[in-house]
Amino acid sequence: MKTIFIYYLIVINIVTLLVYGIDKWKAKRKRWRIPESVLILLAVIGGSIGALLGMYIWHHKTQHAKFKIGVPIILLMQIVAVFFYLQKFQG
């Protein structure tokens, strides 16, 4: 089960990183954009590291408080949740 979870996190973070890059590409070309709700949802479902990397690699959404503050908070909450989950099953 742990292996599946790790693979899931790897895949969702790669997908999230790519989606942030695609949205930045679309923004530069004034094309149809990926909704902000989708970008945040990707972070919530496990892609918060990919979201942070995407924000800073492509300088995308770094001026929006929802992303600048929200994504790190999501990541912190995910780290805390995993920590407590692991503590529950180690003891």
Closest Cα to residue 11, out of 42, 55, 39, 52? Answer: 42
Entry pTM: 0.91
Closest Cα to residue 64, out of 27, 10, 30? Answer: 27
Per-residue pLDDT at 22 exceeds 90: yes
pLDDT at 50: 98
**Average pLDDT of the segment spanning 58-81:** 95
Tell me the pLDDT tens digit for each residue of 30-45: 999 999 999 999 999 9
**Average pLDDT of the segment spanning 8-28:** 97
**Average pLDDT of the segment spanning 40-69:** 96
**The pair of three-digit structure tokens given for residue 50, joined into one six-digit string:** 């990919």
